[in-house]
Amino acid sequence: MQLSYVAASVPGGWAAMNGARDDRWGAEPELGWFAVADAAGPRYGGYHTPVGIEPALDAFAATLATGAGVLAAVRAADRAARAQAPTNPYVLVHIGLSLTALVLDAVSACVAQIGSGRAYLLRGGELRLLAPDHCLPPPHDSVVSALLGFGPEPELELPHVAIEPGDRFVLCTDGAWRAGDHVIRRLVELDDVGLASEVAELAARTRDDATAVVVRVA
């Protein structure tokens, strides 16, 4: 199995206006993992950079590197995010982390999805949603029912799928998938430059940070 990937992340909305980024992505192809994350942080009557997202991704990666498995890695990310929560009681705190991760071995792929992201598989022309988001139905779809680092420890489903040569996976934050399935299909065909351009357009259109990682299996 050979893996290749392209990734892009562009700030939009409040983040872009304040010189910040809500989204991040990470990847270690040699270990077979890829992830996108979207976080919100404390607000003091305005926008502030989210807290906890880098420590959470670092904890996820470090735990996977030990061979402890996907569930343990997600739990470690959750603990790391919670440890960053502000302690000032006068701060209106809104902190939470959406994480969408793909972990591949020689024969299968495992998806971990918590929060507002999504994971897709394109195979033989058919686009399949592997891991749905946890956004409430419209008109309340800006509200997320499960997050890392906030509220009760989320219950996790870790769907597995056998992999085949030619498979293409897409991990994306809601600033990308809200543009529609036709956009997801277009993303899988793009190179680095094309993906960056498309994601920038998505961020402007959805007025939100947009992030996508496309993983190809050969």
Tell how many helices (H) and how many strands (E) occur in the chain. 6, 10
Residue in 13, 114, 116, 124 with CA at minimum distance from that of residue 70? 114
Q: Note whether 48 and 36 are within 8 A (CB).
A: no
Signed CA dihedral, 19, 26, 75, 54: sign only? negative
- CA–CA–CA angle 107, 110, 114 (5° rounding): 170
Partner residues linked to 210 by β-bridges: 10
Q: Would you give per-residue pLDDT tens digits along the chain (218 residues)?
A: 899 999 999 998 777 777 778 899 999 999 999 999 998 655 544 445 566 789 999 999 999 999 999 999 999 999 998 888 766 555 545 568 899 999 999 999 999 999 999 999 999 999 999 999 999 999 988 888 999 988 888 888 899 999 999 999 999 999 999 999 999 999 999 999 999 999 999 999 988 899 999 999 99
19 to 14, 41, 93, 210: CA distances (angstroms): 9, 14, 20, 15
Cis omega (within 30 of 0) on the bond before 159? no
* Number of residues written out for the chain: 218
Residue 17: how many other CB atoms lie within 10 Å: 11
Question: Which pLDDT score is estimated for 100?
Answer: 98
Residue 194: how many other CB atoms lie within 10 Å: 14
The token pair that represents 135 in the structure block: 């956004």
Which domains occur in the chain, in start order?
3-217 (3.60.40.10)
Report the alpha-carbon distance of residue 35 to residue 74 in Å, rounded.
Answer: 11
Is 71 strand, coil or helix? helix
Partner residues linked to 73 by β-bridges: none
